[in-house]
Amino acid sequence: MKWSVIFEPATLAMYADGVVTTLTLLLSSLAVGGVMAVACALALTSRVAPLRWLVGTYTYVIRGTPLLIQVYMIYYGIAQLEWVQARWDDVWPWTHFKEPFFCALLAFSLNTAAYTAEMLAGAIRDTHAGEIEAAQAMGMGRWQAMRRIVLPSALRRSLPAYSNEVVMMLHSTSLASAVPAMLDITAAASRIYSDYYLPFEAYLFAAAIYLLITFALVGMFRLTERRFLAHLAPRAH
Protein backbone atom coordinates (compact mmCIF):
# COMPACT_ATOMS: atom_id res chain seq x y z
CA MET A 1 0.00 0.00 0.00
CA LYS A 2 1.32 3.43 -1.01
CA TRP A 3 -0.65 5.99 1.00
CA SER A 4 2.12 8.53 0.42
CA VAL A 5 0.86 9.00 -3.15
CA ILE A 6 -2.65 9.85 -1.87
CA PHE A 7 -1.31 12.59 0.39
CA GLU A 8 0.86 14.25 -2.23
CA PRO A 9 -0.19 17.90 -2.87
CA ALA A 10 -1.20 17.23 -6.49
CA THR A 11 -3.36 14.26 -5.47
CA LEU A 12 -5.02 16.12 -2.63
CA ALA A 13 -5.69 19.05 -4.97
CA MET A 14 -7.42 16.68 -7.39
CA TYR A 15 -9.60 15.31 -4.61
CA ALA A 16 -10.34 18.87 -3.47
CA ASP A 17 -11.54 19.74 -6.98
CA GLY A 18 -13.69 16.61 -6.88
CA VAL A 19 -15.24 17.66 -3.56
CA VAL A 20 -16.09 21.10 -4.95
CA THR A 21 -17.71 19.56 -8.04
CA THR A 22 -19.62 17.00 -5.97
CA LEU A 23 -20.97 19.56 -3.49
CA THR A 24 -21.83 22.04 -6.25
CA LEU A 25 -23.70 19.35 -8.15
CA LEU A 26 -25.46 18.14 -5.00
CA LEU A 27 -26.58 21.57 -3.77
CA SER A 28 -27.60 22.75 -7.24
CA SER A 29 -29.66 19.64 -7.97
CA LEU A 30 -31.32 19.83 -4.55
CA ALA A 31 -32.21 23.49 -5.11
CA VAL A 32 -33.61 22.97 -8.61
CA GLY A 33 -35.21 19.66 -7.71
CA GLY A 34 -36.72 21.14 -4.55
CA VAL A 35 -38.56 23.85 -6.46
CA MET A 36 -39.76 21.28 -9.00
CA ALA A 37 -40.80 18.91 -6.20
CA VAL A 38 -43.06 21.48 -4.52
CA ALA A 39 -44.79 22.24 -7.83
CA CYS A 40 -45.17 18.52 -8.62
CA ALA A 41 -46.45 17.73 -5.12
CA LEU A 42 -49.13 20.39 -5.48
CA ALA A 43 -50.05 18.89 -8.85
CA LEU A 44 -50.21 15.37 -7.39
CA THR A 45 -52.64 16.54 -4.71
CA SER A 46 -54.70 18.84 -6.93
CA ARG A 47 -58.29 18.26 -7.99
CA VAL A 48 -57.38 18.36 -11.69
CA ALA A 49 -57.19 14.71 -12.76
CA PRO A 50 -55.18 15.19 -16.01
CA LEU A 51 -52.57 17.17 -14.08
CA ARG A 52 -52.31 14.42 -11.47
CA TRP A 53 -51.95 11.77 -14.17
CA LEU A 54 -49.30 13.74 -16.07
CA VAL A 55 -47.12 14.40 -13.04
CA GLY A 56 -47.80 10.90 -11.69
CA THR A 57 -46.50 9.43 -14.95
CA TYR A 58 -43.34 11.55 -14.68
CA THR A 59 -42.62 10.43 -11.11
CA TYR A 60 -43.40 6.81 -11.98
CA VAL A 61 -41.01 6.76 -14.94
CA ILE A 62 -38.21 8.53 -13.08
CA ARG A 63 -38.51 6.34 -9.99
CA GLY A 64 -38.85 3.22 -12.10
CA THR A 65 -35.63 3.66 -14.09
CA PRO A 66 -32.00 3.73 -12.87
CA LEU A 67 -30.39 7.15 -12.42
CA LEU A 68 -27.39 6.07 -14.49
CA ILE A 69 -29.69 5.36 -17.45
CA GLN A 70 -31.21 8.83 -17.02
CA VAL A 71 -27.74 10.42 -17.07
CA TYR A 72 -26.88 8.46 -20.23
CA MET A 73 -30.19 9.39 -21.88
CA ILE A 74 -29.53 13.10 -21.36
CA TYR A 75 -25.79 13.28 -22.06
CA TYR A 76 -25.38 10.53 -24.65
CA GLY A 77 -28.96 10.79 -25.94
CA ILE A 78 -30.47 14.28 -26.05
CA ALA A 79 -27.16 16.14 -26.00
CA GLN A 80 -25.80 14.11 -28.92
CA LEU A 81 -28.76 14.56 -31.26
CA GLU A 82 -27.81 16.38 -34.45
CA TRP A 83 -30.87 18.62 -34.08
CA VAL A 84 -29.68 19.72 -30.64
CA GLN A 85 -26.02 20.08 -31.60
CA ALA A 86 -27.00 22.28 -34.55
CA ARG A 87 -28.45 24.73 -32.02
CA TRP A 88 -25.66 24.49 -29.43
CA ASP A 89 -24.24 27.91 -30.15
CA ASP A 90 -27.24 30.19 -30.51
CA VAL A 91 -30.57 28.69 -29.39
CA TRP A 92 -31.49 28.57 -25.71
CA PRO A 93 -31.79 26.20 -23.83
CA TRP A 94 -29.89 23.89 -26.19
CA THR A 95 -26.76 26.01 -25.65
CA HIS A 96 -26.40 24.38 -22.22
CA PHE A 97 -26.43 20.80 -23.49
CA LYS A 98 -22.82 21.07 -24.63
CA GLU A 99 -21.80 21.48 -20.98
CA PRO A 100 -21.29 18.16 -19.13
CA PHE A 101 -22.14 19.75 -15.78
CA PHE A 102 -25.53 20.93 -17.06
CA CYS A 103 -26.41 17.47 -18.37
CA ALA A 104 -25.52 15.88 -15.03
CA LEU A 105 -27.38 18.61 -13.14
CA LEU A 106 -30.50 18.12 -15.25
CA ALA A 107 -30.50 14.37 -14.67
CA PHE A 108 -30.00 14.66 -10.91
CA SER A 109 -32.57 17.46 -10.58
CA LEU A 110 -35.25 15.50 -12.43
CA ASN A 111 -34.47 12.43 -10.33
CA THR A 112 -34.56 14.04 -6.89
CA ALA A 113 -37.63 16.10 -7.85
CA ALA A 114 -39.62 12.92 -8.56
CA TYR A 115 -38.74 11.25 -5.27
CA THR A 116 -39.19 14.40 -3.20
CA ALA A 117 -42.51 15.22 -4.88
CA GLU A 118 -44.01 11.85 -3.94
CA MET A 119 -42.64 12.22 -0.44
CA LEU A 120 -44.10 15.70 -0.03
CA ALA A 121 -47.41 14.74 -1.65
CA GLY A 122 -47.78 11.95 0.89
CA ALA A 123 -47.15 14.39 3.74
CA ILE A 124 -49.75 16.76 2.30
CA ARG A 125 -52.34 13.97 2.12
CA ASP A 126 -51.55 12.98 5.72
CA THR A 127 -52.12 16.48 7.09
CA HIS A 128 -54.32 16.29 10.16
CA ALA A 129 -57.92 17.21 9.37
CA GLY A 130 -57.98 19.50 12.39
CA GLU A 131 -55.37 21.78 10.84
CA ILE A 132 -57.43 22.15 7.68
CA GLU A 133 -60.65 22.72 9.63
CA ALA A 134 -58.93 25.38 11.75
CA ALA A 135 -57.77 27.16 8.58
CA GLN A 136 -61.27 27.03 7.12
CA ALA A 137 -62.72 28.33 10.38
CA MET A 138 -60.45 31.36 10.05
CA GLY A 139 -61.85 32.04 6.59
CA MET A 140 -58.94 30.76 4.53
CA GLY A 141 -59.56 29.46 1.04
CA ARG A 142 -58.08 26.23 -0.34
CA TRP A 143 -54.88 27.76 -1.72
CA GLN A 144 -54.41 30.13 1.19
CA ALA A 145 -54.68 27.22 3.62
CA MET A 146 -52.29 25.22 1.45
CA ARG A 147 -49.73 28.02 1.41
CA ARG A 148 -49.95 29.02 5.06
CA ILE A 149 -50.89 25.82 6.88
CA VAL A 150 -50.74 22.57 4.93
CA LEU A 151 -47.53 23.01 2.92
CA PRO A 152 -45.37 24.33 5.81
CA SER A 153 -46.63 21.48 8.01
CA ALA A 154 -45.93 18.90 5.28
CA LEU A 155 -42.44 20.29 4.72
CA ARG A 156 -41.61 19.96 8.40
CA ARG A 157 -42.96 16.40 8.64
CA SER A 158 -41.03 15.41 5.51
CA LEU A 159 -37.66 16.36 6.99
CA PRO A 160 -36.67 12.87 8.29
CA ALA A 161 -37.45 11.20 4.97
CA TYR A 162 -35.91 14.07 2.99
CA SER A 163 -32.64 13.74 4.93
CA ASN A 164 -32.36 10.19 3.56
CA GLU A 165 -33.04 11.50 0.05
CA VAL A 166 -30.25 14.07 0.40
CA VAL A 167 -27.77 11.43 1.56
CA MET A 168 -28.82 9.16 -1.30
CA MET A 169 -28.34 12.02 -3.75
CA LEU A 170 -24.86 12.65 -2.36
CA HIS A 171 -23.95 9.04 -3.05
CA SER A 172 -25.67 9.18 -6.45
CA THR A 173 -23.45 12.07 -7.54
CA SER A 174 -20.73 9.45 -7.96
CA LEU A 175 -22.53 8.55 -11.20
CA ALA A 176 -21.44 11.91 -12.58
CA SER A 177 -18.06 10.26 -13.15
CA ALA A 178 -19.74 8.51 -16.09
CA VAL A 179 -19.91 11.89 -17.86
CA PRO A 180 -16.59 12.81 -19.52
CA ALA A 181 -14.83 15.94 -18.24
CA MET A 182 -16.68 15.74 -14.90
CA LEU A 183 -14.16 15.60 -12.05
CA ASP A 184 -16.15 14.61 -8.99
CA ILE A 185 -14.80 12.63 -6.03
CA THR A 186 -15.23 9.26 -7.74
CA ALA A 187 -13.67 10.52 -10.99
CA ALA A 188 -10.69 11.83 -9.01
CA ALA A 189 -10.23 8.38 -7.45
CA SER A 190 -10.48 6.78 -10.89
CA ARG A 191 -7.72 9.05 -12.21
CA ILE A 192 -5.46 8.16 -9.28
CA TYR A 193 -6.17 4.51 -9.95
CA SER A 194 -5.35 4.80 -13.66
CA ASP A 195 -2.21 6.90 -13.07
CA TYR A 196 -0.69 4.95 -10.16
CA TYR A 197 -2.66 1.69 -10.17
CA LEU A 198 -3.70 2.12 -6.56
CA PRO A 199 -7.36 1.03 -6.56
CA PHE A 200 -7.60 0.25 -2.85
CA GLU A 201 -6.03 3.47 -1.62
CA ALA A 202 -7.74 5.73 -4.18
CA TYR A 203 -11.28 4.46 -3.66
CA LEU A 204 -10.92 3.99 0.10
CA PHE A 205 -9.87 7.63 0.43
CA ALA A 206 -12.85 8.66 -1.73
CA ALA A 207 -15.14 6.57 0.48
CA ALA A 208 -13.76 8.35 3.55
CA ILE A 209 -14.58 11.73 1.97
CA TYR A 210 -18.15 10.62 1.21
CA LEU A 211 -18.46 9.34 4.78
CA LEU A 212 -17.35 12.69 6.25
CA ILE A 213 -19.78 14.63 4.07
CA THR A 214 -22.58 12.21 4.98
CA PHE A 215 -21.80 12.64 8.66
CA ALA A 216 -22.00 16.43 8.29
CA LEU A 217 -25.30 16.24 6.40
CA VAL A 218 -26.88 13.88 8.92
CA GLY A 219 -25.79 16.13 11.78
CA MET A 220 -27.22 19.18 10.05
CA PHE A 221 -30.58 17.47 9.51
CA ARG A 222 -30.66 16.24 13.11
CA LEU A 223 -30.31 19.82 14.31
CA THR A 224 -32.96 20.98 11.83
CA GLU A 225 -35.39 18.27 12.92
CA ARG A 226 -34.79 19.15 16.55
CA ARG A 227 -35.65 22.76 15.73
CA PHE A 228 -38.74 22.24 13.55
CA LEU A 229 -40.12 18.94 14.89
CA ALA A 230 -39.74 19.57 18.61
CA HIS A 231 -43.53 19.62 19.02
CA LEU A 232 -43.73 16.00 17.79
CA ALA A 233 -41.22 14.65 20.32
CA PRO A 234 -42.56 12.58 23.25
CA ARG A 235 -43.19 14.64 26.33
CA ALA A 236 -41.00 14.01 29.36
CA HIS A 237 -42.86 13.00 32.53
139 occurs within a structural domain: yes
143 occurs within a structural domain: yes
How far apart CA 72 and CA 218 sit, in angstroms, is 30
What range defines the domain where residue 178 resides?
A: 3-229
235 occurs within a structural domain: no
pTM of the model: 0.88
How far apart CA 42 and CA 87 sit, in angstroms, is 34
* pLDDT tens profile 133-179: 777 777 777 778 887 888 888 888 888 899 999 999 999 999 998 88
Per-residue pLDDT at 136 = 75
Pick the residue with more confidence: 147 or 229? 147
State the CATH number of the domain containing residue 172: 1.10.3720.10
Peptide linkage before 93 cis (omega within 30 of 0) = yes
193 occurs within a structural domain: yes
> E-strand spans in the chain?
none
15 occurs within a structural domain: yes
Per-residue pLDDT at 140 = 76
236 occurs within a structural domain: no
How far apart CA 196 and CA 216 sit, in angstroms, is 30
12 occurs within a structural domain: yes
234 occurs within a structural domain: no
* pLDDT tens profile 2-13: 788 888 899 999
Per-residue pLDDT at 232 = 56
Total structural domains within the chain: 1
